[in-house]
Chains A and B, each alone.
Chain A
Amino acid sequence: MTWILFLEQALNGLQFGLMLFLLASGLTLVFGIMDMINLAHGALYMVGAFLAAWLAQLTQSFVMGILLAIPLTALFGMAMESTLLRTLYARDHMSQVLATFSLILIINEAVRMIWGTDMPLAAPAALSGPVELLPGLYYPAYRLVIIAVGLVIAGLLYLAVTRTRVGAWVRAGASNREMAMAMGINIQRLFTLVFGLGAALCAVAGAMLGPLLAVQVGMGETVLILAFVVIVIGGIGSIWGAFVGSLLVGFVDTFGRTLMPALFREIFPPQVASAAGPAVASILVYLLMAVVLFLRPQGLFSRR
């Protein structure tokens, strides 16, 4: 493997990891602070992407589409929290899973009725080509934008959680909810706020990935599973854990897809290698999770 290939793959891993982080950070806060399993988190990602595609069509501007989709998705998330999910906090995890799973189905069908099964969303033409970062290292401009947006948001989130009063509430809520309530934090309002923030981050991820992947019904489910893997690896309730976990999953997945088939070809005959290599590459992320669970069941950076 040459160093140019290595660098390009590292950028790919970073890009994938950062987008996962946007999803996982919201998920881990909701899970950590409210002790609530929200399977419908992926649905918010889908709603964000569809809103962005729809608004981009209306305003004829990709940037306007994303900027408008973010607050709208946040509002949608907060409405969902204050009308429906709030009643589930006192229930056990099984009821939460059932209720939020049914929400996935309802939201999927609702989106299908409003916008159809998929919508076109294209990045600005100026970003459609490659950029030469170093001699010989070309990288798609749009993926660079995704990386930049991901890094900026991760930085802002870090500052918000460590440097602001609301951030202190969030951290307090995540490490000990009862004590935080006893200290006079309005947990109810905090919950709604955190949920809105999580939804907004989902919208960013959905809208940014839309032009690269596809804006379609059901896009949230596959990515939701990976987001859960991330928060299990990182430790539930920890933003820093979600960040490390996302990058780990991003890198393991990207390099696994590259290295595993090559490694298998060295060891096994081509017939076996071509079948087993890709198969093992696709379960590598779950192997990583199993190893972390075995060595540190509470996750790498747990708050509990």
Chain B
Amino acid sequence: MKSFRLACLLAAALSVGATSALAQPASKIKIGLVSTLSGPNGAIGEEVRDAFNLALKLNGGNLGGIPVEVLIGDDQFNPQVGKQLFERMVKRDKVDFMTGVIFSNIMLAGLPEAVNEKVFYISPNAAPSPLAGKDCNPFFFVASWPNDAYHEMAGQHSTSKGYKTAYLLAPNYQAGKDSLAGFKRFYKGKVVDEVYTKLGQLDYSAELAQIRAAKPEVMYAFLPGGMGVNFIKQFVAAGLNKDIRLMLPGFGADQDISRGVGDVMLGINDTAHWALDINNAANKKFVTEFEKAYKRLPTVYAAQGYDTALILDAAIRSVKGNINDKDAMRKALREVKFDSVRGAFRFNTNHYPIQNYYLREVKKDSQGRLVNLLASAQPIAANHGDAYVQECSMR
């Protein structure tokens, strides 16, 4: 009889143990970070990776109080490689969250591997328009800005400056198309031409000759990473900067680009959701610590990578580490409250951000470095969302 009671107790204890295991906080969190870490666009991925790691380090290696292991993969700027890395990290390594990708085409190739397995993907950069609208996904969150946003603001700024003619250039892929659509949505002048080049193209001689012949007032180029460095250098070498005003999206005139191009960058305007001198405590800490750790100033990409870690930290903390309860986790992410380096931030119903956008300008700092600072503390647009949210079925 005694032994029977003991068995019953044991069984009860075990079953209690089993049920509570489900609701128990994870003892360790695995995060997969796939980014472009080699080639002429590799510097961008390094910004995201380094900033994400910095946020972790400042947090004592924890997110939401739980130790974190980060698996890092280089997509080599190749969608096929990116997809394989996603598959391996989700299926074999069983990561709890995925993040990291820079380029929309690579993310679109890899994303299904994560979201189909109910693994949350927090995007530190790529935010293509389809995923904001009809293809919005309960497991997809954007910590950066909608693909069109910087370009909408550049269009807005060009309109308010009264530039009558504009010439647009972007690589021929999803983010390139989103960018020019965004510019045109807010630009009231005449678009003399819009040109799409091959993604990864490094020689723009043919396009520059066209631009010279078209004589636009403002030239808007969406060219991330090494493409932008080459384009601006060649734009200047062709002497076009004398007559045509070059306008760039935020990442296109950041510290990394200026380092590669040089002093001709001075005075160039761009639009972004963040700048080195955005005035809040979180940003001051981020910029100081980043420079201390990596001996260079952060770019918008770094700011996005850093915020991605902060979002995860806050959301995991608010579910008390129960990351396997996907619905609770999603709710926590949707309502996340954290001290973003960009200032005010919240997720829209389509999991894309609502935030401020600013005009910035390339200036020299006291050490003689080219830095991209706010041209005005007054945003071009405040609490700006995106044009696709109505098409998203999530409410």
B-binding residues in A (CB < 8 A): 1-2, 4-5, 8-9, 12, 15-16, 112, 117-118, 120, 128-130, 138-143, 212-214, 216-218, 253-255, 257-258, 261, 274-275, 277-279, 282
30 A-B pairs within 8 Å (CB atoms) are namely A1-B213, A2-B213, A4-B213, A5-B212, A8-B209, A9-B209, A12-B209, A118-B39, A118-B42, A130-B237, A130-B239, A139-B238, A140-B234, A140-B237, A140-B238, A212-B202, A213-B203, A213-B230, A214-B202, A214-B226, A218-B39, A255-B206, A258-B210, A261-B196, A274-B177, A274-B194, A274-B196, A275-B172, A278-B198, A282-B198
Q: Does B195 contact A (CB under 8 A)?
A: yes
Q: Does B61 contact A (CB under 8 A)?
A: no
Interface 1/0 per residue, B199-218 and A, CB below 8 Å: 00011011101101100000
A16–B213 CB distance below 8 A: no
Contacting residue for A128 out of B207, B209, B237, CB 8 A: B237
Beyond the given pairs A5-B209, A140-B238, A143-B237, 13 more chain A to chain B contacts, judged by CB atoms under 8 angstroms and listed by A's residue number, are A8-B209, A9-B206, A12-B209, A117-B42, A120-B260, A140-B239, A212-B234, A213-B203, A214-B226, A216-B40, A217-B39, A275-B196, A278-B195
B40–A214 CB distance below 8 A: yes
Give the residues in chain B near A282, CB-CB below 8 Å.
198
A10 to chain B, nearest CB (A): 10
Q: Does B197 contact A (CB under 8 A)?
A: yes
Give the residues in chain B near A2, CB-CB below 8 Å.
213
B196–A278 CB distance below 8 A: yes
Give the residues in chain A near B172, CB-CB below 8 Å.
275, 278-279
A140-B234, A278-B198, A282-B198 as given contacts; A212 in contact with B203, CB under 8 Å: yes
A140-B238, A212-B203, A261-B195 as given contacts; A217 in contact with B38, CB under 8 Å: yes
Tell me the nearest residue of chain A to B180, going by C-beta. A274
B198–A254 CB distance below 8 A: no
Give the residues in chain A near B196, CB-CB below 8 Å.
261, 274-275, 277-278
B230–A214 CB distance below 8 A: yes
Q: Does B7 contact A (CB under 8 A)?
A: no
Contacting residue for B239 out of A1, A5, A120, A129, CB 8 A: A129
A258–B206 CB distance below 8 A: yes
Give the residues in chain A near B198, CB-CB below 8 Å.
278, 282
Interface residues in B231-248 by Cβ distance below 8 A to A read 234, 236-239
